[in-house]
Structure 1
Amino acid sequence: MLRLSRSKSGLKKPRLPDGIRIYAISDVHGCADLLQQMFAVIDRDLSTIGSKRAIHVFMGDYIDRGPDSRRTIDLLIDRGRKHESVFLKGNHESFLLDALGNSSLLQDWRQYGGLQTLSSYGLQPSLNPDSVEQAKLIEQLAVAMPEQHLRFLKALRPRFVCGDFFFVHAGVKPGISLSKQQEHDMLWIREEFLQHEKRYEKYIIHGHTPVQQPDIRSNRANIDTGAYATGNLTLLTIQGDRLLAI
């Protein structure tokens, strides 16, 4: 457990409205077992918070790379039925949806770990499928994917705002109002956002770029700890102006 604080700059700390607690998770990448472990941690915490309003915020990249994308989505759908939850879109979900409409994208999706997702739906892709196999695999995926999974993916949001916090998968483009951010930037941006040190209109909580441990800065917090490679899925809890990473 790591208790986090930002630099003592004299600036007002970002806060959530009173009575709200947020549980944020990003970049599960098919690690369903790790996600279940985090749910157990959240459930223990929920038993201690009394009448506070608890909001789960999942920040995208639920699929690819890891072993069980299908079960991960099942777990998230079930969690959303039982708890107030916000599901954001990651670049991997965006790519899957694009590939469902254009099988030629499967070759690029393969480089992002898409073959592991296909396998989780019971398909058996070769390591380097040709164009004929690519088209067949996309047809098979469209049949194998439950309708509720497709609805879940199509309903993902690009951003979520609560109090002084702005939740997004990858980040935001500096110099652009948060209300005018483009979805592509929010799903894919890296260096321009990561190197920006000035504060934004709100404090940015994001994932997308793996770090060894949660990276908390004066203007943003990155909680992608590379679960599929490290076995470490981070849970960030926010209440008031306090951030706690597990």
Structure 2
Amino acid sequence: MRTLAIGDIHGGLRGLTQLLERAKVNKDDKLIFLGDYVDGWSESAQVIQYLIELSEKNECVFIKGNHDIWCEKWLQHGTAPPVWLYHGGKGTIESYKDFSKGDKQKHLEFFQTMPMYYIDNQNRLYVHAGFTSMHGVKEEKFEQSFCTDRTLWEMVQTMDKRIKKDADNYPNRLKHYSEIYIGHTPTLRSHSYEPMNKANVWNVDTGAAFTGMLSAIDIDTKEIFQSDTLPKLYPDEDGRNG
């Protein structure tokens, strides 16, 4: 059995299905999705429907991202703040035009069951963005950090590679977990189209919301699988603003 960590999808159903096909995913594989399933390309609602059906075939973990929180609130209360509309929410609302009230309720319940983070039996942490507590995620006082924090990734990018985990100046945040898998901050910002590793953190968001690809990584072998770039799969669309 493999365990694959999968980066931010952002409404790119074509990228998701292509990625799973290229990775030759079968029913024995465990899939851990790192959040942000919606907002970007035109098939956000269709992505959620696909993931619900996928979870009936495979063992899946769906971490909640910041865009998922916006969509969840819209499905529950009908509220659409301007910041969400600007960052892909308008397209997500449009993608739901042919979904029934019952369908939307099932999607809402799907969002509501998503955890903010997941720790596996080998003490590997999976979280959408990051966390700020030096004592680990269970002591995090600001739950929003799980969806929005970029300081974890910024910190490891500046670390000297020679610093070992048992060193006094190794960041306490990192000592709690054997590995940490995140999304949220596209690796395109570091001019990389592939998942990146710094210290014990793996960033699997390879910019599928923009000009990048959707990526998955086998957490044991570190084999990487990728879709085509999303603009290639959606040639008539612009993806997410901002």
Question: Paired residue for 1:156?
Answer: 114
Question: Paired residue for 2:18?
Answer: 37
Task: Give the conservation status (yes or no) of the 8 Å contact 2:32–2:60.
Answer: yes
Q: How is 1:185-224 mapped onto 2 (pairs within 5 angstroms)?
A: 185-191=145-151, 193-196=153-156, 197=159, 198=171, 199-202=174-177, 203-211=179-187, 212=192, 213-224=194-205
Q: 1:80 Cα shift? A: 0.3
Task: Give the conservation status (yes or no) of the 8 Å contact 1:174–1:193.
Answer: no
Unaligned runs of 5+ in 1: 1-19, 48-52, 124-140
Taking structure 1 as reference, are residues 164 and 29 closer, same or farther at Cα in structure 2, changes over 3 Å only?
Answer: same
Task: Give the conservation status (yes or no) of the 8 Å contact 2:6–2:33.
Answer: yes
Question: Paired residue for 1:226?
Answer: 207
Task: Give the conservation status (yes or no) of the 8 Å contact 1:99–1:109.
Answer: no
Cα distance in 2 for partners of 1:230, 1:70 equals: 21
Residue 167 (structure 1) aligned with residue 142 (structure 2)? no
Q: 1:72 Cα shift? A: 0.5
Q: 1:234 Cα shift? A: 0.6
Q: How is 1:1-246 mapped onto 2 (pairs within 5 angstroms)?
A: 21-42=2-23, 44=24, 46=26, 54-100=29-75, 105-122=80-97, 143=101, 145-162=103-120, 163-181=122-140, 182-191=142-151, 193-196=153-156, 197=159, 198=171, 199-202=174-177, 203-211=179-187, 212=192, 213-239=194-220, 242-246=221-225
TM-score of the superposition, structure 2-length normalised?
A: 0.75
Residues 122-175 of structure 1: CA deviation (Å, up to 9, x unaligned): 28xxxxxxxxxxxxxxxxx99485322111111111111111310000012151
Q: 1:33 Cα shift? A: 0.4
Report SS of the residue matched to 2:125: strand
Matching residue's letter, 2:207? G
Residues 59-110 of structure 1: CA deviation (Å, up to 9, x unaligned): 1100001111011111111110001111110000112223445656421211
Sequence identity (%): 28
Report SS of the residue matched to 1:153: helix
Unaligned runs of 5+ in 2: 160-170, 226-242
Cα distance in 2 for partners of 1:82, 1:102 equals: 31
Task: Give the conservation status (yes or no) of the 8 Å contact 1:223–1:236.
Answer: yes
Q: 1:111 Cα shift? A: 1.8
Report SS of the residue matched to 1:173: coil
Q: 1:194 Cα shift? A: 2.3
Cα distance in 1 for partners of 2:80, 2:100 equals: 15
Cα distance in 2 for partners of 1:24, 1:227 equals: 15
Cα distance in 2 for partners of 1:71, 1:104 equals: 21
Cα distance in 1 for partners of 2:26, 2:100 equals: 37
Matching residue's letter, 2:208? A
Aligned length: 202
Give the RMSD, CA atoms, in angstroms. Answer: 2.4
Question: Paired residue for 2:230?
Answer: none
